Amino acid sequence: MTMTDTSDTVRAEEDPAKPVSGLRRVIAMLWADKLAFVAALFLLVIVLCAVFGPMFLQDMAAKTNLRARNAPPFELERGFFFILGGDALGRPLLARIIVAAQNTMMVAAGAVVASMIIGSALGLIAGYTGRWVGEAIMRLADVIMSFPSLLLAVIVLYMLSPSIANLVLVLAITRIPIYLRTTRAEVLEVRQRMFVQAAIVMGASNFRIVFKHILPVILPTLLTIATLDFAFVMLAESSLSFLGIGIQPPEITWGLMVSQGRQYLTSAWWLAFWPGLAIILTTMSLNLLSSWMRIALNPTQRWRLEIGAKKNG
Amino acid sequence: MADHLLEVRDLSVRFHTAQGIVNAVNGISWHLDRGETLAILGESGSGKSVSASAIMNLIDMPPGEITSGQILFDGVDLLKKSEEDRRRLNGKRISMIFQDPLGHLNPVYPVGWQIAETAMAHGKPKDEAYARALALMERVGIPDPKASMDKYPHQFSGGQRQRLMIAMALVLKPDILIADEPTTALDVTVQAEVLSLLEELQEETGMGLLLITHDLGVVAEAADRAVVMEGGHIVESGTPRELYHHAQHPYTRKLLAAAPGKGEMRDPASDEQPILRVQNLQKSYGSFAALKGVNFDLHAGETLAIVGESGSGKSTIARLMLHLEPASGGKVLWKGEEILSKTPREMGPLRRQLQMVFQDPTQSLNPHMTVFQIISEAWVIHPDILPKSQWKDRVAELLEQVGLKPEHALRNPHQFSGGQRQRIAIARALALEPDLIICDEAVSALDVSIQAQVIALLGELRDRLGIAFIFIAHDLPVVRDFADHVLVMQRGQVVEHGTVRQIFEAPRQGYTQRLLAAGLDSDPDVQAERRSQRLALAATQA
């Protein structure tokens, strides 16, 4: 092999099969992309807040204190949890944001994960099986898409009682077509690729072809859409809550906090600003992490991160 | 020194990549005179296209960087000129044609407009530009040029598109035409026509032609002088005849030795019961018949080559046999059993006996899997072949069998070169211990020297393991040393079927003769003979 592309060989030599544990390798690759590392840390904090926040801060977040109504931020005399200010009923904003993380994450993650799993499963079926099933699924997606999602939500939540589970259900249904269409389009392209044909020639089952050969190729795309969708779902939830058919007080979510703070925007901007910032930072972190993941999941791109890890570490 | 039309002196270009600095070319020098054809010969990664990109100002900087050298055109250094000046030169005095004409023609504009556009972009009035475009289309041999002006690129064949590209490049009567692999994507008969068109045009206009190619045959056919490049250096230069007969550098010698079609031809021996019988195989897409009744037999351990130009239906045969597409009619008997009518479930166990190696190994290996996963997938699907405990040893064994190392098993396909990837694909096919391997253009995407190695490997496997091969190719010389029987196809039909010796030494059909005459030989003297043969054939047919 004298004609071997030299850069390829060099790269191959650099990458011996050293027995590194999976987790350490992932952390090393995260460290190589500093932005993604910070994003991952931030998300970890959010997840911890969501899991443990309500356990410790529930009472404080619900306790009204009329003397601290719309208390401005960055003042420590009322205690640490008033560092971000107080809301219209004098409840500490920081504590409320931490407590609200749970509901927000549950609704957003629930809706995104549910719609991604259902949508991509249907998309795989529509893309890989025969024409009739595929057509039927696509028309179903058209029906959902042609229905204004807010209207659908209003109807469903009017019939069912507004609860977190129902909210997740509604949001998931309205987002399914996005994943369905993307998955189907990608499947139609990937199934024509040579390595899928090679697998057919080897006698691989449909199940194997779909999950071993097609899904890994389209997964990064789906994850990228999912992270973008995360923000959309958080905001959709807040607009439903605003209409009075989403989460109802005293339950709180970030979206609800933003919409409650909206009427005080001119006098007490911090009411809407801090929960809004939480939404933005979460979404941004997810985006950064997803672009890192797109590289990390792709074997032809992964060396970028591994080389960076070596340099830094 | 300013006598030369174009002179490259001591040019070095490097690229800054994530793996560090890659020196694409190192201090190369060559020159081109008016009315002369210079060929730059090299395999992929040799840097043969870099100097042309530097001339046309096509190198992205960064990551590219020209570290030294001069490009003298009419005695002026192009590298010192402003972007604006160079753009004015491009297209007008120096123009370029590329390998893939479809990719370089805009699909949403009619071709007449596209040809005229170059002229208009350099300030010619519209009527004049269109008149020139029409004249050129006629000159490059587009049928019915007037009507063709309003057609779109997809309405032309590959060879016609390359003619259109040539017309586009010649609109402003350039002094230099750079042709980067102009005929690589074309069929052999079309390739010969395009090369002679370029030659005629050069004689008419007196332009200098810079021909970048990996094909020794193209050099022998068209070049006046050639430089051979390897790894960013010029290793040798001279006339094609000098290079062929008195090659000095070992690389040039290796390249010449690797050219296919030089070895002994094989004589088929066996006349037992055939393992594969294809009878009246047909395929039609709507009303278009892609395959019009093909018949052939194949014996165990034998190699059948199916040769034909694009659109002849040669790959369709393989796809139908392997159930990648449903057939429209006919029978395929595998060891006496009809397999076309089998359901996917019934086909499952048979699959392991019939394997395929695809044209482009970059695409036929799943990029997300390691080599170990790729090869062992065969045993996941057919668990009765090998118990899991032996997988590791068997993968190592297979990798060694195809000339790779056992420790390669943990890498991903992209970490290998094209030739190595094709070896992995062969190892994957061997993992199933098949009786028949169908190679669909399995070597045509590879460099000549790699091609020779892969064919040698296949031949060795055939002799050692007794596997039968169906070898699909568009190129006759490739199959000469390897096949027992040859099936020549044209437009969905078998034109001629015989042993290699019959086909190569005494072809009966006009089409086979044309195909043989159109193939380019790396020996300039043989090539000159071929050319006169080709012209004679064309004359008798006209």
* B45-68 pLDDT, tens digit each: 788 888 888 888 887 776 778 888
Token pair belonging to A253: 């979510």
The pLDDT assigned to A42 comes to 92
* AA identity, residue B517: A
Shortest CB distance from A299 goes to which of B414, B419, B449? B414
The answer to whether residue B457 neighbours chain A at the CB level (below 8 Å) is no
A74 compared with B423, residue with greater pLDDT: B423
pLDDT band for position A179 (cuts 50, 70, 90): very high
Instruction: Sort B227 into a burial class: Cβ within 10 Å, 0-12 / 13-18 / 19+.
Output: buried
B105 compared with B262, residue with greater pLDDT: B105
Chain-centroid distance, C-alpha B468: 25
B8 compared with B448, residue with greater pLDDT: B8
Answer yes or no: is pLDDT of B26 > 50.
yes
Answer yes or no: is pLDDT of A16 > 50.
no
A23-312 adopts what CATH topology?
A: MetI-like fold (1.10.3720)
Shortest CB distance from A200 goes to which of B324, B352, B378? B324
Helices vs. strands in chain B: H and E counts, helices first: 22, 20
List, in order of start, the domains of chain B with CATH numbers. Answer: 34-49+83-258 (3.40.50.300), 261-353+434-506 (3.40.50.300), 371-432 (no CATH)
CA distance A165 to A30: 34
The pLDDT assigned to A11 comes to 40
Q: Which residues of B, range 418-437, sit inside 8 Å of A by Cβ? A: 419-420, 425, 428, 432
Instruction: Write out the H or E segment, with its range, that includes residue B451.
Output: helix B448-465
What b/e sequence results for A63-88 when a residue is b if at least 16 CB atoms lie within 10 Å of its CB, and e otherwise?
eeeeebebbebeeeebeebbebbbbe
- Give A-chain residues touching B19 at CB under 8 angstroms: 7, 10-11, 307
What is the mean pLDDT of the segment spanning B74-87?
82
The pLDDT assigned to A120 comes to 92
> Cα separations (Å) of A2 from A192, A290, A296, B164, B214?
33, 39, 31, 38, 16
What b/e sequence results for B342-364 when a residue is b if at least 16 CB atoms lie within 10 Å of its CB, and e otherwise?
eeeeebeebbbebbbbbbbbbbb
Nearest chain A residue to B454 by CA: give it.
A1
What is the mean pLDDT of the segment spanning A120-138?
87
Edge-to-edge strand list for the sheet holding B225-230: B94-97, B176-180, B208-213, B37-41, B225-230, B233-238
The whole-angstrom distance between B330's CA and the closest CA on chain A is 21
A·B CB contacts under 8 A: 109
The pLDDT assigned to A307 comes to 66
Helices vs. strands in chain A: H and E counts, helices first: 13, 0
Q: A284, A225 in Cβ contact below 8 A? A: no
What is the mean pLDDT of the segment spanning B265-277?
74
pTM of the model: 0.76
Alpha helices in B90-125 (DSSP H): 101-104, 111-121
The pLDDT assigned to A116 comes to 93
ipTM of the complex: 0.72
Q: Which residues of B, range 300-339, sit inside 8 Å of A by Cβ? A: 322-324
Candidates B366, B384, B416: best to mutate against A (most CBs of A within 10 A) is B366
For B303, phi then psi, to 5°, come to -120, 125
Neighbours of B322 (CB within 10 A): 21
pLDDT band for position B271 (cuts 50, 70, 90): low
Answer yes or no: is pLDDT of A136 > 80.
yes
Greatest mean pLDDT among A61-70, A243-252, B141-150, B373-382 = B373-382
Q: Tell which residue, A32, A114, A74, has the closest CA to residue A270.
A: A74
CA distance A249 to A253: 9
On the CB side of B275, CA atoms within 13 Å amount to: 18
The pLDDT assigned to A10 comes to 37
CA distance B430 to B424: 10
The answer to whether residue B23 neighbours chain A at the CB level (below 8 Å) is no
The pLDDT assigned to A6 comes to 38
Which residues, including other chains, have CB under 8 Å from residue B502's CB and lie 6 or more apart? none
Inter-chain touch B355–A202, beta carbons under 8 Å: yes
The answer to whether residue B354 neighbours chain A at the CB level (below 8 Å) is yes
The pLDDT assigned to A113 comes to 93
The pLDDT assigned to A183 comes to 92
CA distance B362 to A193: 10
Domain residues of chain A, as ranges?
A: 23-312
Nearest chain A residue to B323 by CA: give it.
A201
Inter-chain touch B368–A217, beta carbons under 8 Å: yes
Q: Tell which residue, A178, A264, A262, has the closest CA to residue A226.
A: A178
Q: Which residues of B, range 177-236, sit inside 8 Å of A by Cβ? A: 231
CA distance B14 to B67: 7
Answer yes or no: is pLDDT of B197 > 70.
yes
CA distance B262 to B140: 34
DSSP sequence for B10-36? EEEEEEEETTEEEEEEEEEEEEE-TT-
Tens digits of per-residue pLDDT, B397-438?
888 888 888 888 888 888 887 778 888 988 898 888 888 999
